[in-house]
Copies of this chain bind each other. A is one copy, B any other.
Amino acid sequence: MSRQLQARVPRGMRDILPERMIRRRYVIDQVSRIFEEFGFEPLQTPSFELAETLLGKYGPDAEKLIYQAQHAGGKEELALRYDLSVPLARLIAMHRGQLHFPFKRYQIAPVWRAERPQRGRYREFYQCDCDIVGTTSLLADAEIIQLIHALLSRLGFKDFTIHLNSRKVLNGIGRYSGVPADQLGSLYRSIDKLDKIGMERVQEELRESQIPSEVISRLAGLLQIEGDVRSVLGRLSKELAQDSEGRQGIADLEEVLCYLKALGVPDKQLDIQFTMVRGLDYYDGIIYETSIEKPKMPSITGGGRYDQLIGLFMKDSLPAVGTSFGIERIIDAMEELNMLPDSVRGTVVRALVTLFGPDQAAISLQAAHQLRQAGIHTELYFKQSSLKSQFKYANRKGIPCVVVIGPDEAEQGKATLRNFMTSQQVQLPLSEMPSQIRRWIGN
């Protein structure tokens, strides 16, 4: 065939080899299971959207990162999915009549962003979202927050805190401090940088935005109220007594906290943080993100209520609430911290059936077939070589059990089973292999 090519992948993209893929899939399966326990339905949108669907939604800096695509003779301008939210809004507008509302869906799927590649960050990566569309009930907000708690706990994370805030409360704080209505947006943008640049620099930015310094200091006071969730809200509600939107935001948070208490989400894993803004413009109710202490991950989930986004694609918007999980970082952290159970091995194979000699090929095939029918993931060794090298292969690959059928065993309808984890070895009738292997590998 033609000239030999250098085998490469595009910059910022990667192959996921079996060992890592098995671990990755374990986490994704766990996450899907929890979503479904909560009644979220799976769905799929195409990887491509019309460019017009995506452009103008993420701001100019993000827009530069969108991949565009075309084919010979194609007349449409196409773009690769940049997140899962805009496609959801588009889908709901298109299929509204076929869906049951409130519509709960989850999606775990790749998105593409041409960001500067760096360690652990790729240009193709998975996003993981769940959303509830079509209800303003705060039970829905509470359910999403409970789901965050349940999911991270079930995966084995312990030291995490869910930080709550409300865009309504933020508006109230802004107004009460004296920030003009048309400057609330730049107020959010400045506060959003607090973690990165510190309170002093934020105050400086606000001064540069022509916000008077007495306003800024009043604002700084309110933003920095600290304490347990209930006392923080109590103190703020006294300050905002005159602001109806602010009061509403506080009442919303109190109602959600009450639901979370009924569900046994411990107060100590919740935190009201008025300085948490969530960058995206489209949030308009309660917002939340989650930080994990170990490994340090400042924002492993992010979400909130966005009642207007879907209105981009249809006349009457639909209220919506949801969250994203940083699934790539969750997977990395779980690998790093050895949070995966022992049953998640580097191979799917649980038993290797060895090949003794040409005359034993048929019986080895049959033994492998029998194990497979019993649901045991089985590999048949294809090459006639010494048992030693077949054992070595199993060992190197991490296959826990090996089945040997030599001429003697074949004659008696038996097999010798070896457990690599314990070095145990037994000889037993072929029909008893599956249950013995299951006892050894524990399933």
* A104 cross-chain contacts in B, Cβ below 8 A: 379
Chain B CB within 10 A, most for which of A18, A36, A67, A98? A18
C-alpha gap A355/B110 in the complex (Å): 36
Select A365's contact among B47, B70, B110, B259, beta carbons within 8 Å: B259
How many copies of this chain sit in the oligomeric assembly? Answer: 2
Per the 8 Å Cβ criterion, residues 1-30 of A in contact with B are 1-2, 4-11, 13-18, 21-22, 24-25
A440 at the interface (CB under 8 A from B): no
* A110 cross-chain contacts in B, Cβ below 8 A: 47
Per the 8 Å Cβ criterion, residues 159-177 of A in contact with B are none
Q: How far is the CB of A47 from chain B (nearest CB, A)?
A: 6
Q: Contact: A18 with B42, CB < 8 Å?
A: yes
Q: Contact: A365 with B263, CB < 8 Å?
A: yes
Interface string of A63-90 (1 = CB under 8 A from B): 0111111111110101010000000001
Given A5-B52, A9-B50, A112-B47, CB of A365 within 8 Å of CB of B36: no
Given A314-B7, A382-B102, A382-B139, CB of A377 within 8 Å of CB of B68: no
A338 at the interface (CB under 8 A from B): no
* A114 cross-chain contacts in B, Cβ below 8 A: 71-74
* A25 cross-chain contacts in B, Cβ below 8 A: 42
Q: Contact: A18 with B105, CB < 8 Å?
A: yes
| Contact count band on A | 35 or more
Q: Contact: B348 with A42, CB < 8 Å?
A: yes
Given A5-B52, A91-B15, A94-B15, CB of A38 within 8 Å of CB of B382: no
* A99 cross-chain contacts in B, Cβ below 8 A: 17
Select A41's contact among B13, B18, B64, B366, beta carbons within 8 Å: B18
Chain B residue nearest to A399 (CB atoms) is B39
Chain B residue nearest to A41 (CB atoms) is B18
Q: Contact: A383 with B2, CB < 8 Å?
A: no
Q: Contact: B372 with A37, CB < 8 Å?
A: yes
A-B contact list, 26 entries, CB within 8 Å: A2-B56, A4-B311, A4-B313, A5-B53, A8-B50, A9-B45, A9-B94, A10-B76, A17-B43, A18-B41, A18-B42, A18-B105, A21-B42, A22-B41, A37-B376, A39-B349, A39-B379, A46-B124, A47-B112, A47-B124, A48-B124, A64-B72, A64-B73, A68-B70, A69-B80, A262-B361
